[in-house]
Amino acid sequence: MKDVIYTVESNEQLTENVYKMKLAGDTSAITAPGQFINIKIESLFLRRPISVFDCEDGAVTIIYKVVGTGTEKMAQMTKGQKLDCLTGLGNGFNTELSGNSPVVIGGGVGVPPMYYLAKKLREQNKNVTAILGFNKESEIFGEEDFKSLGVKTVVTTVDGSAGIKGFVTDGMKDIDYTYFYTCGPEPMLKAVYNASKTSGQFSFEERMGCGFGACMGCSCKTKYGNKRICKEGPVLVKEEIIW
């Protein structure tokens, strides 16, 4: 973990309520895909935890959905503004377990962390498939980003307005994979758990106090003992999850 003052480099609207923000500054504490940063927003007491969409030396990019006061304020931010962030939080995904043909499965704002993960898997020359689930066509983002990594990209929409009609699990039916990684709303994670044919890793969400393991606000029970979503999570392996 590292406290970094970032400078907003860009903050663009992707869909009706989803934004992409690039932050310039020290990224040395971000060591694995699936980690998150915790953003201090002026006049709000608690920080806002947001997953990392992409990370390079000197810049981190996040994609976030406007869901409340904090993210509303973020959507108003402009180039040059400074942001106090705790970076490199959480365990992140383990890419070593993926086998040769992993699938990454993201739903809604669970899509962003899958991009940095897919990028890392591609750097290891893995044959990656991405399944990106959305409610409808107008909510789709990131599809081209995944394709540009050389990732086979499947889109599903609940209303069938684009790609395969249905849920991410409908996208999983016709593909072969050696391992899976997923992030999204909990009902989706559970559906992926039930539909999956291999082992895999799940990234969970929980309301957090501190985001770095001090307050025990986001604890969960696992088969391997109590874990803090912000510290020993947000990524849990399939075998340890208790639904």
Partner 1 sequence: MVNTSVELSGITLSNPVIPASGTFGFGYEFAELYDINKLGTFSFKGTTKEPRFGNPTPRIAECTAGMINSVGLQNPGVEKVISEELPKLKKCFNKPVIANISGFSVDEYVYTCEKIDKEEQVGIIEVNISCPNVHGGGMSFGTSAKSAAEVTKAVKAVTTKPVYIKLSPNVTDITEIAKACEDAGADGISMINTLMGMRIDLKTKKPVVANKSGGFSGPAIFPVAVSMVYRTFEAVKIPIIGMGGVSTAENVIEMMLAGATAVQVGAANLADPYAGLKIVEALPEAMEKYGIKNLKDIIGGAH
| Residues within the interface to partner 1 (CB under 8 A) | 1, 3, 40, 44-47, 86, 206-210, 212-221, 226
d(CA 84, CA 61): 15
CB of 222 to partner 1, least distance (A): 11
Nearer to partner 1, 40 or 152 (CB): 40
CB of 219 to partner 1, least distance (A): 6
d(CA 8, CA 106): 26
Spatial contact of 8 and 77, defined as CB atoms under 8 Å apart = yes
Residue 168 CB partners (closer than 8 Å, separation 6+): 105, 106, 107, 131, 132, 133, 156, 182, 184, 188, 191, 192
Nearer to partner 1, 4 or 130 (CB): 4
d(CA 235, CA 241): 10
The residues facing 152 across adjacent strands are 129
CB of 88 to partner 1, least distance (A): 12
Nearer to partner 1, 86 or 130 (CB): 86
d(CA 155, CA 170): 10
User: Residue 114 burial (CB < 10 Å; 0-12/13-18/19+)?
Assistant: buried
Nearer to partner 1, 49 or 200 (CB): 49
53: left (phi over 0), alpha (psi -120 to 50) or beta: alpha
CB of 149 to partner 1, least distance (A): 34
Nearer to partner 1, 118 or 208 (CB): 208
Nearer to partner 1, 173 or 242 (CB): 242
Nearer to partner 1, 76 or 226 (CB): 226
CB of 113 to partner 1, least distance (A): 20
Spatial contact of 4 and 87, defined as CB atoms under 8 Å apart = yes
Residues in the chain: 243
Spatial contact of 52 and 35, defined as CB atoms under 8 Å apart = yes
CB of 45 to partner 1, least distance (A): 6
CB of 192 to partner 1, least distance (A): 21
The pair of structure tokens assigned to 192 is 């992926």
